[in-house]
Amino acid sequence: MRVIREMSFTAVVLSAALFAAPGALSAQTHADSVKLRNDCRLAVQVLTAGVPGPQRTEALNTIGLCGAEGVPALVKVWSAAGDDRAELGLLVTATRGFVTPELVSALFTTLEQRGRSLNARVAALLVLLTYADPAVVPGFDDFVGDSSELLVHHYGAIDHPAPVVGRERLTESLANRLRSTLQPIAATDGDARMRIAARVALKNPPLAP
């Protein structure tokens, strides 16, 4: 009898858990959604205000999850992006998953401005290449380093790319625009390292003939 009672009790507990699970899952999803909205608001505030230090790092780690809400903050950060490759790496990751015309404009501006740092310009190039083809996800080391090695290196494409949200709404061919932007940079840019980076991009996907 004791075994039967224990089995019955276990069955009741399992049944209760099964019936309770959908509500618990819904509550958890709502809690996660509220937390993300709050985190996004804070990230926007931190990046817009230019707050430095750990808060900025956390904001850059969050802002890529915020969709359209995070775009103005990302545009602002790109407009003043410096030379810190670690921070630029976070910015590249945050920007790659979501595209709008405003972000495209900010990235091309960064890429084309000869007064900007090499790392900032290359960071913008990294994102634009992924916007042009989500399967192309190169890194800084594919563009910055020993020129003799860079010019014979091919970074190729990945097999299972993540989608870039909003890409289907763009009205222009980013590959064509990027190619026409990089050609004069490769030929006449005042920074020899940037000329090399442009040449590397032009001979690799998605810009190679």
HEC string of 135-179?
Answer: CCCCCHHHCCCCHHHHCCCCCCCCCCCCCCECHHHCCCCHHHHHH
| Domain parsing of the chain, residue ranges | 1-63, 71-209
Q: What is the pLDDT of residue 134?
A: 95
Q: What is the model's pTM?
A: 0.84
Token pair recorded at residue 19: 């019936």
Q: What is the pLDDT of residue 6?
A: 37
Residue (of 101, 48, 126) closest to 118 by Cα position: 126
Token pair recorded at residue 161: 């790319």
Tens-digit pLDDT profile for the chain (209 aa)? Answer: 433 333 343 443 334 443 445 554 454 554 578 999 999 999 999 999 999 999 999 999 999 999 999 999 999 999 999 999 999 999 999 999 999 999 999 999 999 999 999 999 999 999 999 999 999 999 999 999 999 999 998 898 888 888 899 998 888 899 999 999 999 999 999 999 999 999 999 999 999 98
Beta carbons within 8 Å of 3's beta carbon, 6+ residues apart: none
Measured between alpha carbons, how far is 91 from 40 in angstroms, rounded to an integer? Answer: 15
Q: Residue 10, exposed/middle/buried by CB under 10 A (0-12, 13-18, 19+)?
A: exposed
Helix (H, G, I), strand (E, B) or coil at 97: coil
